[in-house]
Amino acid sequence: MTTPPALLLVGHGTRDDAGAEAFRSFVRDLGRRRPDLPVAGGFIELSPPPLADAVSDLTGRGVRRFAAVPLMLVSAGHAKGDIPAALAREKLRHPGTSYAYGRPLGPHPSLLEVLERRVDEALADPGRDLGTPGGTGSFPGDRARTTVLLVGRGSTDPDANAEVHKAARLLWEGRGYAGVETAFVSLAAPDVPAGLERCRRLGADRIVVLPYFLFTGILPERVRQQAEGWAKAHPETEVRCADVMGPTDELAELVWERYEEAVRGDLRMNCDTCVYRVALPGFEDKVGMPQQPHHHPDDDGHHHHHHGGHAHAH
């Protein structure tokens, strides 16, 4: 009987110790869920363990076949270029190994359910009010007066930013919110204050800021701080901040779904609006760019580099 490929989780990395530990803890939990399967996880940058160490750990256990799943919500430069390039590098370092590459998590229905749950928790907890501590009571079920501001990481890749808008629209559909708007915490407009101002001008008197992040970290905390600053300047608008999604059962089940897809070779990656394959206005120079691993100098939201292409990710 052929041994199934090991699961290799790939994270972005963060300078926030709690966020990095949340990823590592999630990887350990996945291993407990499938004790028959070797499981490891590593980061592209900023946090230990690096991806190379995770691969070395697995090859040291005799693993030769991998299914790599990016623990990322959108397919930006990391998923399209950096991870495939890093996997190609590891293949050279460990002759005889082979990799199947899964797709990012995306706006999957099960994750939309988690987001919906986080909004409900924020509505039910007056302690989450950013402008007036203690708030004005709970409003469970009163979604018709609630506008949600979904805040993504932000990217220089227009396709990745569009995926956040898609998640926002899917979250809006059928759930009875007054609206779901979109903002980004770095690298893309509108930023959090501009997103909140847009909600206000559209008539919102109650806004739930919803971080589109898996785990806690520097950027989700920045989302909360920026929302708090805007809320204090606009006391007439009730603003509450929801939690990040966190290591839920839904997330674990989705990772296994992405793993099975990769093992079967059923990837279905989106190429129609990929900046490395299609000449999008203002991004024509990126078409066909070679993929090369890189290292971010920091996590301050100002990445001075160009992402590589992703010919090998398809």
In the 8-state DSSP scheme, what is residue 264? H
Q: Which of 64-73, 87-96, 253-262, 305-314 has the lowest mean pLDDT?
A: 305-314
Mean pLDDT of the chain: 87
Instruction: Provide the pLDDT for residue 304.
Output: 38
| Domain membership flag for residue 298 | no
Whether residue 307 contacts residue 80, with contact meaning beta carbons closer than 8 Å, is answered with yes
Any domain includes 154: yes
Reported as a single tens digit per residue, the pLDDT across 3-12 is: 899 999 999 9
Residue 78 or residue 60, greater confidence = 60
Using DSSP's 3-state secondary structure scheme, residue 279 falls into: coil
Average pLDDT in the 46-61 region? 95
User: Is the model more confident about 271 or about 221?
Assistant: 221
Q: Is residue 83 part of a domain?
A: yes
Give the pairing type, strands 179-184 and 147-152: parallel
Q: Do residue 119 and residue 198 come from a single domain?
A: yes
Q: Which two tokens stand for residue 37?
A: 């399967």
Same domain? 115 vs 101:
no
User: Amino acid letter at 5?
Assistant: P
Domain end among 241, 276, 306: 241
- Is there a domain that residue 15 lies in? yes
- What's the pLDDT score for residue 276? 72
In this predicted structure, the answer to whether residue 294 has a pLDDT above a threshold of 60 is no
Q: First-to-last CA distance in the chain?
A: 28
Report yes or no on 291 lying in a domain: no
β-pairing, 6-11 with 98-101? unpaired
Judge if 163 and 95 occupy the same domain.
Answer: no
Please state the rounded mean pLDDT for residues 78-85: 82
- pLDDT of 281 reads 62
Same domain, 184 and 259: no
Distance (Å) of CA 79 to CA 72, 196, 253, 258: 8, 29, 20, 14
Q: Decide: 55 and 8 in contact? Cβ < 8 Å.
A: yes
Question: What total of structural domains would you count in the chain?
Answer: 2
Cα 44 to Cα 53: distance, rounded to the nearest angstrom: 11
Rounded Cα–Cα distance for residues 257 and 148 (Å): 28
Residue 110 has phi, psi (to 5 degrees) of -70, -35
Out of 85-89, 91-95, 167-171, which region has the weakest mean confidence (pLDDT)? 85-89
Q: Domain range spanning residue 154? A: 109-125+139-241
| Position 230 confidence tier, pLDDT thresholds 50, 70, 90 | very high
For residue 202, count CB atoms less than 10 angstroms from its CB and return exposed for 0-12, middle for 13-18, buried for 19 or more: exposed
**pLDDT per residue as tens digits for the range 131-161:** 865 555 655 558 999 999 999 999 999 999 9
SS3 99: strand
Do 49 and 144 reside in the same domain of the chain? no
CA–CA distance from 153 to each of 30, 46, 75, 302 (Å)?
A: 25, 16, 12, 12
Assess whether 216 and 253 both reside in one domain: no
Same domain, 202 and 278: no
14 and 99 part of one domain? yes
pLDDT tens for each residue of 150-192: 999 999 999 999 999 999 999 999 999 999 999 999 999 999 9
Pick from 187, 218, 241: which residue ends a domain?
241
DSSP, collapsed to helix, strand or coil, labels residue 219 as: helix
- Residue 141: its pLDDT value, please? 53
Q: Are residues 235 and 281 in the same domain?
A: no
Please tell me the predicted confidence (pLDDT) of residue 267. Answer: 62
- β 238-241/206-211 pair status: parallel
pLDDT at 163: 95
CATH at residue 208:
3.40.50.1400
Residue 296 is predicted with a pLDDT of 44
- Kindly list the distances between the CA atom of residue 181 and the CA atoms of 125, 164, 175, 190, 207, in Å, as whole numbers in the listed order: 21, 10, 14, 10, 10
Whether residues 164 and 200 share a domain: the answer is: yes
* Structural domain ending residue among the three candidates 210, 241, 272: 241
Q: Is residue 188 part of a domain?
A: yes
Note whether 201 and 163 are same-domain residues: yes
Q: If pLDDT is split at 50, 70 and 90, which confidence band does 289 have?
A: confident
Please report the pLDDT score of residue 80 as a whole number. 81
Reference 275, options 31, 10, 80, 22; nearest CA is 80
As a whole number, mean pLDDT of residues 284-308 equals 53
Residue 26's pLDDT band (cuts 50, 70, 90): very high
Q: Are residues 278 and 159 in the same domain?
A: no
For residue 254, being part of any structural domain is answered with: yes
Residue 292 lies in a domain: no
